[in-house]
Amino acid sequence: MKCFLRKEGTNLTAFLCHLRLGDNLQDFLTVTTWSPVAAAFNARVHRRLDLFHQNGLFGVPELSSVGGFEVVQDRALQETQQLVEQACRCPPGVQTVEIFDKLSDSLCRVADMADFIKVAHPDPSYREASERTCINIGTMVERLNTNVDLCKSLKDLLDNEEIFSKLDPETRRVAELFLFDFEISGIHLDKKKRKEAVNLNVKLLDLSNQFLMSCHMPNRIEKRALPEHIHQHFTKDGNYIQIGGLNADAPDDLVREVAYKVFLYPNENVMHILEELLSCRDKLARLVGYESYAHRALKGTMAKSPEIDNFALTNNLRIKPGLNLPLGVIRAERFNIEPSLYSPYFSLGACMEGLNGLFTQLYGVSLLAEQPSVGEVWSEDVRKLAVVHETEGLLGYIYCDFFYRPDKPHQDCHFTIRGGRQLEDGQYQLPIVVLMLNLPHPTQSAPTLLSPGMMENLFHEMGHAMHSMLGRTRYQHVTGTRCVTDFAEVPSILMEYFATDYRVISQFARHYQTGQPLPQSMVARLCESKKVCGAADTQLQVFYAIMDQVYHGKPQNRSTTDIMIDMQKKYYGLPYVTNTAWQLRFSHLVGYGAKYYSYLMSRAVASMVWKQCFYKDPLNRETGERYRREMLAHGGGKEPMLMVEGMLQKRPSIEDFVNALVSDLEPDFETFIMDSEG
């Protein structure tokens, strides 16, 4: 009973009625008129005060107060008990799978929402209440995964060949996925070992939460330890400076060096949490019959097992020429891509307008800004979008938490709040997702302006959102991004290709003051600089993926830092910096444990889809519809390699994956000629 602890009627013109542009916006509206969706993101929001229609978070009435978490949690647990009893009495058939999916939906709707709120809500009392809910729901999920009677009701269906063979392919796959959840939780063990498996899973939930929270906690250093002229780049806290990230985009070398050394300074408590987390994962995997946690995690993925994923893909990549370049020879100054030269063309509103136009042309989908109800969102800066198809109507909702707050996670990410599924009355349960970025706030004289990297991240995260919006699976257990990890990143990475194609960029990139379009030569230089830096980035991803596999492979009698130093020496071109522990900030070890290679595999698939299907005409509606039909619509309800094969009309080999990644790094010599002539 997998529960993803990560991610209806409406007035579609509510934005026009309730959203007012700030007076300051007139200063930079002299040249161009923003569309409604652009204006929603380029203006400061002034929400209408409504004392009579209070609502709760995401429209859940109970969540208008902290105590509501316990109410929705208890209701879900009570419904769970009823559905378990119903499933155990149900004769084998499609209704068995439907009950299991209702059971999963009942728990996930609470757990997924709580999982988001515990990291995003600015009020500590909300974060604490939601964390308790996550733990309680997670504990129930693990108990269900070792419930023998519940498993028997599912096995009776799968063992009845006559009935099972008559089910539709999606229903058969979902039934098999539910059984897989039972198997990896040790349902085949005796009572004592099943209890041990439950206890290990519960402990893992707690350790995962602790590690995830610690990854984003800032480190402090006394003000006097740092030169005064760089204090302005960090958050001040009395006599201390707080450093909550790597400040990788800072132009000052000293700022980047200080941020790196302070933010990555080892914390013994967090080190212990990580090593205990890895140890528990190994114990659980071996308890339920797997050689290692990596073998357990990769079952059912495109890679299938550790033997054929990272160490085939990454070792092939490692010997390709050009991938061991030190960062010193790939500096972006060669291409004159100072972010401040680009950001005036990438106002947040313009980028959202570009996404809206792209989705309209590819899928017939529009993004419409709506005014949230009072209490529906956790911050005044959050925007709400209704995703509407020209013939299908409302597809779902996207909440956009785009602006920096000190309390937010520093990594861009997306969360599924509610999955889509077919309801008994013929209606469709609309998906709800949240996109979280860390963009600068608009100023008195300018809207939020994005660097090229920020713009690309926005496109990437919106790819995840549209995966959920455009899917129409029968079961929420496989809705949208609820698919195998090494396929889930394909739609988001594909969006990065659109974000760097001039035919797409030219439709929205306009200077926020003059209205002038972004010159094509600047886009060409940006794309070429990405290719050069892409070699180093690919090498870095190889290092991350290998380290992740080693952490989750055969246990080693040495610290995670010693392992990291060894892997860095073998697979990365830059030396280890003394007294740093980068792995303690590697939050992907929680959600992507033993599966970080997925970024490389997904990028290879996305590259092949882009070059074969979209490169000639990135705005072609027929291709967009085919992409939705073959890859987006199924979520996790279809074997991932079959979706890839359907789109590419071939089953790619490891060599195809490697060639796709390497070909993305090949320079465009026309750009070098154009650059030298300019």
Question: Comparing C-alpha atoms, which of 38, 47, 41 is closest to residue 19?
Answer: 47
Q: Which helix (H) or strand (E) holds 191?
A: helix 191-215
Q: Which long-range contacts (CB under 8 A, 24 or more apart) does 506-511 make?
A: 507/354, 507/357, 507/358, 508/350, 508/351, 508/353, 508/354, 508/357, 509/345, 509/346, 509/350, 509/354, 510/32, 510/345, 510/350, 511/31, 511/344, 511/345
Identity at 205, one-letter amino acid code: L
Q: Give the whole-angstrom CA distance, residue 177 versus residue 124.
A: 36
The CA-atom distances, in angstroms, between 623 and each of 275, 565, 612, 620 are: 47, 45, 11, 5
Q: Give the whole-angstrom CA distance, residue 186 versus residue 201.
A: 11
Computed from CA positions of residues 486, 490, 492, 496, in that sequence, does the dihedral angle turn out positive or negative? Answer: positive
**Backbone phi, then psi, for 370, in 5-degree steps?**
-125, 155
Task: Answer for the pair 494, 464: CB distance below 8 angstroms, yes or no.
Answer: no
Q: Give the whole-angstrom CA distance, residue 397 versus residue 368.
A: 10
Task: Answer for the pair 1, 107: CB distance below 8 angstroms, yes or no.
Answer: yes
Q: Is 480 left (phi over 0), alpha (psi -120 to 50) or beta?
A: left
If DSSP states are collapsed to H, E and C, what string results for 33-60? CCCHHHHHHHCCCCCCCCCCCECCHHHC
Question: Comparing C-alpha atoms, which of 582, 603, 637 is closest to residue 274?
Answer: 582
Around Cβ 625, how many Cβ atoms within 10 Å? 13
- The two tokens of residue 611 are 């070059």
Question: Comparing C-alpha atoms, which of 91, 173, 141 is closest to residue 473?
Answer: 173
| Side-chain half-sphere exposure of 535, counting CA atoms within 13 A | 23
Identity at 223, one-letter amino acid code: K
> Which amino acids are annotated catalytic?
461
Q: List helix spans (H) across 62-165.
A: 68-89, 94-120, 124-144, 148-159, 161-164
Characterize the bridge pairing of strands 432-439 and 393-403: parallel
Task: Answer for the pair 263, 563: CB distance below 8 angstroms, yes or no.
Answer: no
- The two tokens of residue 140 are 């129930």
Q: Is 266 helix (H, G, I), strand (E, B) or coil?
A: coil
Q: Is 9 helix (H, G, I), strand (E, B) or coil?
A: coil
Q: Give the whole-angstrom CA distance, residue 600 versus residue 207.
A: 27
Q: Is 408 helix (H, G, I), strand (E, B) or coil?
A: coil
Q: Is 459 helix (H, G, I), strand (E, B) or coil?
A: helix
The CA-atom distances, in angstroms, between 391 and each of 302, 388, 469 are: 34, 9, 14
If DSSP states are collapsed to H, E and C, what string results for 614-656? HCCCCCCHHHHHHHHHHHHCCCCCCCHHHHHHHHHCCCCCHHH
Question: Comparing C-alpha atoms, which of 354, 408, 342 is closest to residue 381?
Answer: 408
- The two tokens of residue 316 are 């092939």
Task: Answer for the pair 146, 93: CB distance below 8 angstroms, yes or no.
Answer: no
Question: Comparing C-alpha atoms, which of 530, 515, 529, 459 is closest to residue 345?
Answer: 515
Identity at 557, one-letter amino acid code: N
Q: How many helices (H) and strands (E) does the chain have?
A: 27, 10
Give me the residue label for tokens 């899973």: 201
